Amino acid sequence: MKSIISRILDYFNAKKITEQYPKWEKSLSQLQKKIDYTFHDPTLLYAALTHKSYLHRHFEDHKTPSPFERMEFLGDSILGFIVSKELFTRHPDEQEGKLSKLKSKIVSETYLTLKAKAIDLGKYLLLSPEEQQSGGASKPSILSDAMEALICAIYLDSGISAATRFIRNHILNNYQETVTREELVNYKSILQEYMQSRNQPPPTYVTVAEQGPEHHKTFVVEVRWGNKLLGTGKGNTKKNAHQEAARMACQKLGI
């Protein structure tokens, strides 16, 4: 990974970026104050926040591994481990099933996006102009991945204790209130459990339309039970459209 990070820094130092990098570097000092953590090796922070779209735009070799994606991969595992350990300790009398559901909400894209927005993480990301124009700094997929990459950067810089402190302070803060927010309710799961409790087959989800340009699509999904239409939902991803359709179905069924 160091060789890839060095290539990024060589790019910056060669002044192929005119004013953007110095301003970015200054803003990252603000981020470190915000999260109450100062990097011993700032290159780890640079790498964690350099999105693959920016890297691929400025390096001709698109096969170059993206530090952002690699760090997101490791950060995901670190987050899962620490959240599991914290929930295990904080809820000594809770059943495994409920702990698993709680953990799945906390490590979900939606939850991490909420926490990333709380520290304005999107404004510190280095994105390609195309990704910026398409709203990349506020996309849940990018923000949640960036949060995981940041966790990895802290872990690589100072170890598991520092990563644990960050997760406690910025991921697990007010988690019991956060997981009850409307956008974190898994209506698909509620609907499926409702059907199972009545010995009925699970509902089916059908994408009936895709609207808008490729980079900003809206999906329309119907949830059906046999030939009966239970609900229709729209979303900027199929996953979100499924959830909205399930929410409408739950409302219709009174659950």
Catalytic residues: 76, 148
C-beta separation of 146 from 116 below 8 A: yes
Alpha-helical runs (H) found in the chain: 2-13, 20-34, 42-48, 52-58, 67-90, 96-106, 109-118, 129-133, 140-158, 160-170, 175-178, 187-197, 238-253
157 is in an annotated binding site: no
| 94 labelled ligand-binding | no
8 A C-beta contact, residue 248 and residue 220: no
Helix axis angle, 67-90 to 160-170, nearest 10°: 70
Query: 148 a known binding residue?
Result: yes
Question: Would you give the DSSP letter of residue 216?
Answer: G
Please choose, from the candidates 42, 177, 159, the residue with its C-alpha nearest in 3D space to the C-alpha of residue 106. 177
In the block, residue with structure tokens 């790498």:
47
The DSSP call for residue 201 is: P
**Cα–Cα distance for residue pair 12/250, rounded to 1 Å:** 52
Element holding 230 (H helix, E strand)? strand 228-235
Nearest-CA neighbor of 76 among 147, 3, 154? 147
Q: Which residues pair with 206 in a beta bridge?
A: 222
Binding-site residues from annotation: 72, 145, 148
Binding-site residues from annotation for Mg(2+): 72, 145, 148
